[in-house]
Structure 1
Amino acid sequence: MSHGKTREDKTCLNCGHEVPERFCPHCGQENIETRQPFHYLFTHFIEDFTHYDGQFWRTINYLLFSPGKLTREYLSGKRQQYVAPVKLYIFVSFITFLLPALIPQHKDQEDTPKSTVENKKVQQETLTKTLDNLKKEGVISSQNAQHTKKIIDSLQKNDSIENRENDDLLDNTFSNKSSLILGARNLKEYDSLYNKTANPLYSYFRPFAKKMFELREDGFSKKEIINKFRDTFIHTLPKALFVYLPVFAFFLWLFHNKKRWWYFDHGIFTLHFFSFLLLGTLIFIMAERLTALLPDFSLLSFILFLAYTGMLIYMSLYFFIAHHRVYETRKRVSILKGMLLFIINSIGLTIMLLILLYTSFIMIH
């Protein structure tokens, strides 16, 4: 509660009803003076934040460490002391989008920035012009100039081959002879190679290949493309989960008593579960960003490996624990239903993620 000065007039400025005490019984607005000291701006903010902070941390504590308890509390009517499910999901989605951007990524020294590629082109043009000028001035003969150009071209080709050999996953996908585009250097070659073969995957992968060639022509390295792809995927994931939310709740509705459990109840369970998944994803991202800044020690790496493994196991078991606690079925029935729901939704989520992977890459800019 704020400590602003109470108005002597007992008429609510918001709705016009009589205010017998400090808060209006009709609309809930505090009946305080409209003008307060300057420090009131800061004290009011701290008071509001502290109130929300207690509500928020209680919600996060139950969400992370007490699977199913938050849903049970909400469905039983205890809602005032917790963040509402939709608001919770939106907030967790927001911080999943925001926090990773605040922590810098560990940059690999082997990455080739776009400016470096442009510098190589400028250097090539400069060398060619210099040789032409020397030939015109008679400093070197045409034969020597041509021979020097061939040496420069040979060195550049060797450098290109060496860089290609050091390429990572994307290069293996797009340049390897066993891959879909079979070493095509541009979109025109890709179309000529696969449009003639009537490959059923041609139409599906063409936008993918087009985006890849565009990014390579713009001078982006493979690792830069991977980082862009990962960031786009992370930003799109909360939206995709939100779209899949009613589908997940629908499968829960199919497997449970329709009289006892309404679709609304399954929606609350799904919102809490998806909020947990996003929060777990955020923890993984933040841990990866922070540990990348730490020195590389074998013991530390082993401890981190154990921590990540434990988190993955916990995230896998979370659904079964929460499902059993909320729906209060017998353990065997709960495990059986949980397994079926887990398999069905794993297939559904996998399909959704494949679509998301495709669209995320196409959306890179």
Structure 2
Amino acid sequence: MKKHYRSENNCLNCDTIVTDKFCSACGQENLKLHDNFLHIVLHSVGHYFHFESKFFKSIVPLLTKPGFLTKEYFAGKRASHLNPISMYISISIVFFFLFTGNTQSNEKDILKEKAAKENTISKAEAEKAKAIIGNAVSEEAGDNTKSLQNNTKEATDSTSNYSASLISTKENGKNTSSLVNVGSLPVSLENKLEKVLDDKLSQQLFLNKLVSHLPKMMFILLPLFALILKLVNFRSKKFYAEHLIYSIHVHSFLFLFGSILIILDWVLFFLDGWLMFIGILIMLWYIYRSMRNTYRSSRWRTVYKFFMLALAYTFLMLLSGCIVVIATLYTM
């Protein structure tokens, strides 16, 4: 259908002089405001399928041609493909949505279950205390008082002896307590960890919060991954921005392929182990192949860089994972 352009040459969006059909400053098309319904619908559908075309021109090479999108981006062919950051964000949202569908439970239900459990425990303890008090009242007052005095004296003596032994041990520079490994963890962190490990509901809440922090952790690791690439390829003339774009494309593939694996696992659950094994092999091959195509190194030099990259990135992931775990424990 023929488009109806305005006769005026000022852009309605940024007020720049329009010399052709599109504004040279903001890119808005200089169309008339009052079009009929059919024209508006067709125009909108055209924009949608234009996006669809860019989507498939980006997703298919991302899956099948390692390193292709990175080379296209720095060759100047950017309008035909999705913006790398926008594509990464979209794919990561889908991946973490599917991932949390397997691991995350409803937090409100967990809190309700925890409150009910605590209420049940408190009632049971109250009944137990009531029974103990009833038995104590039924006994003779004189014997009960005498017994209490004896027990109190024994407990006091025992506590005094134990405290004295602890003080003596600390003075000698030794700690014989086997319940808490002092020095391995801060006391506050150790208490929170014990609380989580002792309660299944707390474990589930901890897991939910931990999973919710993973997208932030991965987004922070992106520039660090690019920095490692820059260090591993120190002889390369590529700028840091090129390593960053490559890093974004690689992570986009990993999240997209991971989403496909999760869906396949739901359908082919009886092949769970094989899917995971084959998926890891494909991911490793993809990273190797994309490095070979992007940095143009020899086969064995690429293998060497791949292992250096994997070693450094694994260390960073473990370090950042520990930080996220500690932060999650302190925010529970």
Say yes or no: TM over 0.5.
yes
Unpaired runs of at least 5, structure 2: 140-174
Shift of 1:130: 9.6
Question: Aligned with 2:12: secondary structure?
Answer: coil
The code of the aligned residue for 1:261 comes to K
Shift of 1:117: 0.9
Instruction: Decide which of 175, 178, 185 is 1:202's aligned counterpart.
Output: 185
Contact kept? 1:5, 1:33, Cα under 8 Å: yes
Contact kept? 2:4, 2:32, Cα under 8 Å: yes
Taking a change above 3 Å as real, the CA distance of residues 337 and 17 of structure 1, as seen in their structure-2 partners, is: closer
Contact kept? 2:100, 2:211, Cα under 8 Å: no
Contact kept? 1:232, 1:361, Cα under 8 Å: no
Contact kept? 2:104, 2:207, Cα under 8 Å: no
Corresponding residue of 2:226: 249
Question: Aligned with 1:202: secondary structure?
Answer: coil
Corresponding residue of 2:155: none
Shift of 1:38: 6.5
**252-261 or 307-316, larger mean C-alpha shift:** 252-261
Corresponding residue of 1:7: 6
Corresponding residue of 1:93: 92
Distance in 2, matches of 1:325 and 1:235, equals 34
Shift of 1:3: 7.6
Corresponding residue of 2:276: 308
Distance in 2, matches of 1:245 and 1:286, equals 25
Instruction: Decide which of 286, 308, 318 is 2:286's aligned counterpart.
Output: 318
The code of the aligned residue for 2:306 comes to G
Taking a change above 3 Å as real, the CA distance of residues 106 and 114 of structure 1, as seen in their structure-2 partners, is: closer
Shift of 1:88: 2.1
Corresponding residue of 1:124: 124
Taking a change above 3 Å as real, the CA distance of residues 21 and 352 of structure 1, as seen in their structure-2 partners, is: same
Which protein shows a greater Rg?
2
The code of the aligned residue for 1:207 comes to L
Name the TM-score, length of structure 1 as normaliser: 0.64
Contact kept? 1:320, 1:335, Cα under 8 Å: yes
Corresponding residue of 2:54: 55
Contact kept? 1:208, 1:361, Cα under 8 Å: no
Taking a change above 3 Å as real, the CA distance of residues 145 and 255 of structure 1, as seen in their structure-2 partners, is: same
Corresponding residue of 2:169: none
Corresponding residue of 1:356: 324
Question: Aligned with 2:320: secondary structure?
Answer: helix
Moved runs in structure 1, 4+ residues, more than 6 A?
38-42, 102-107, 128-132, 144-147, 192-198
Contact kept? 1:10, 1:18, Cα under 8 Å: yes
Of Structure 1 and Structure 2, the greater helix share is in 2
Instruction: Decide which of 213, 238, 242 is 2:195's aligned counterpart.
Output: 213
The code of the aligned residue for 1:58 comes to K
Distance in 2, matches of 1:87 and 1:200, equals 46
Distance in 1, matches of 2:98 and 2:74, equals 31
Give yes or no for the alignment of 1:228 onto 2:205: yes
Contact kept? 1:208, 1:362, Cα under 8 Å: no
The code of the aligned residue for 1:55 comes to K
Give yes or no for the alignment of 1:347 onto 2:329: no
Distance in 2, matches of 1:121 and 1:228, equals 20
The code of the aligned residue for 1:308 comes to M
Contact kept? 2:13, 2:28, Cα under 8 Å: yes
Taking a change above 3 Å as real, the CA distance of residues 83 and 363 of structure 1, as seen in their structure-2 partners, is: farther
Contact kept? 1:100, 1:286, Cα under 8 Å: no
The code of the aligned residue for 1:326 comes to T
The code of the aligned residue for 2:195 comes to F
Unpaired runs of at least 5, structure 1: 136-141, 148-191, 292-299
Instruction: Decide which of 227, 234, 239 is 1:262's aligned counterpart.
Output: 239
Question: Aligned with 1:95: secondary structure?
Answer: helix
Instruction: Decide which of 279, 283, 293 is 2:256's aligned counterpart.
Output: 279
Taking a change above 3 Å as real, the CA distance of residues 117 and 74 of structure 1, as seen in their structure-2 partners, is: same
Shift of 1:326: 0.7
Taking a change above 3 Å as real, the CA distance of residues 207 and 53 of structure 1, as seen in their structure-2 partners, is: farther
Distance in 1, matches of 2:299 and 2:16, equals 54
Distance in 1, matches of 2:98 and 2:104, equals 12
Shift of 1:324: 0.7
Distance in 1, matches of 2:230 and 2:20, equals 46
Distance in 2, matches of 1:104 and 1:48, equals 37
1:257-291 deviation digits (Å, cap 9, x = unpaired): 54621222111111112223333444455556x45
